[in-house]
Structure 1
Amino acid sequence: MADRQEQVLDAAIRVLGTRGLRQLTHRAVDTEAGLPLGSTSNLFRTRDALVDGVLRRLVQVETGAWHALAADLPPGDAAAFTAVLGHLLRDLTGEGRVIVLARYALFIEAAFHPQLRERIGVARQELERWGVPLMASLGVPDPAAGFGMLLSLIDGLLSNQLAHDDPTFDPEAAIGTLLRGLLG
């Protein structure tokens, strides 16, 4: 992805994650990125193109986080996976909260726009291509179903923590419980 395009999309994610979808305009992104007016429009002619670009960038950022998560994990170590994933979730509800809020804004919009819902489905398939083998390496008997449950748990944990900042947030307890159940 070109540097300027990445700069614009990162600014769009910040707009989306701090102000919501209604405020995601070409002008707002230009201002957030510190670029001359019209810069975003030159790269993304329509709002749909901008939203699609934001979704692609979110997938890139979040997939990168998942890859970094798995890079140092010993194969088959559910306890290490739980600890690292817990750390990631704490980051995503702290410094990384804008990314999660931007993704959730797109998810809500997808409920009303079938094309966006379809694009989110494609993005989820990309994540599954990476995550299902990871679940298999942990010994989960049905890795696809297990990964789906893990994603659902993660989304629930994130949304609850973002909606109500609980100082005792302990994602490892829920993740560990799920993995123990999946592993039998």
Structure 2
Amino acid sequence: MTSGAIRFPDRLALIADTAIDLLAERGLRGLTHRAVDEAARLPPGSTSNHARTRAALLEATVRRLAVRDVQTFRLEAVQVTSGGPDVMPEALALIIHRYLTDSRHLLIARYELALEATRRRELREIYDAAGQEFREILVALTARMGSREPERHALSLFAWAEGVMFSCAAGAHHARTPTREELRKSVGELLRGMLPAGGA
């Protein structure tokens, strides 16, 4: 199931959004049913009613995070589709910059969940499936820009973006956020190296 097919009732969305915030603030050890109830100002037991086990809570959080990621990315993807290939460097730069500023907590929560997914097979499957729509969007965009190997080029772009975001959100370069212009130049350089002449 891709994230686009997921529908979150209001209460479950609140629970999952609160869980994302707690993961970013306290890490996995700080994510409990009681902590979600308290942070969301819900009656005791509310989180348990929607996610009976810790595994169920983690699964709901992964799915909700994927929804929020795809919503963020799709807004700029639409601009690329309507505006042409020359818009892609600016769009990707905007997405990365937005994550490193307004949405840094989403990145931290995702890193926590990604590591947990390496230890839980059931969570790994959900984590991978939830990100499928994001990968499909990126492959489609690179193909539209003229890539002869869109799967491989999409992976390279994704890996570069993930590396920059991790380094600047939680790694050695966390003290400084690249500007949108710096990111735009880097994306443009990557695309020029991947695509046929005139493709970026």
Query: Structure 1: which 4+ aligned runs deviate by more than 6 Å?
Result: none
Higher mean C-alpha deviation, range 151-160 or range 118-127: 118-127
Quick check: 1:148 aligned with 2:158? no
Matched AA of 1:143: P
TM-score, length of structure 2 as denominator length? 0.86
Quick check: 1:129 aligned with 2:129? no
**Percent identical:** 35
Equivalent residues of 2:168, 2:177 under 8 A apart: no
2:175 pairs with one of 150, 165, 171: 165
Matched AA of 1:161: C
Matched AA of 1:166: R
User: What residue is the counterpart of 2:5 in the other structure?
Assistant: none
Quick check: 1:10 aligned with 2:17? yes
Q: Give, in angstroms, the shift of residue 75 of structure 1.
A: 4.9
C-alpha separation in 1, matches of 2:123 and 2:168 = 26
User: What residue is the counterpart of 1:50 in the other structure?
Assistant: 57
Q: CA RMSD in A?
A: 1.6
Quick check: 1:177 aligned with 2:189? yes
Equivalent residues of 1:86, 1:172 under 8 A apart: yes
Equivalent residues of 1:75, 1:138 under 8 A apart: no
C-alpha separation in 1, matches of 2:50 and 2:137 = 30
Q: Give, in angstroms, the shift of residue 168 of structure 1.
A: 4.2
1:65 pairs with one of 58, 61, 72: 72
Quick check: 1:27 aligned with 2:39? no
C-alpha separation in 2, matches of 1:88 and 1:166 = 17
Unaligned runs of 5+ in 1: none
TM-score, length of structure 1 as denominator length? 0.93
Equivalent residues of 1:141, 1:182 under 8 A apart: no
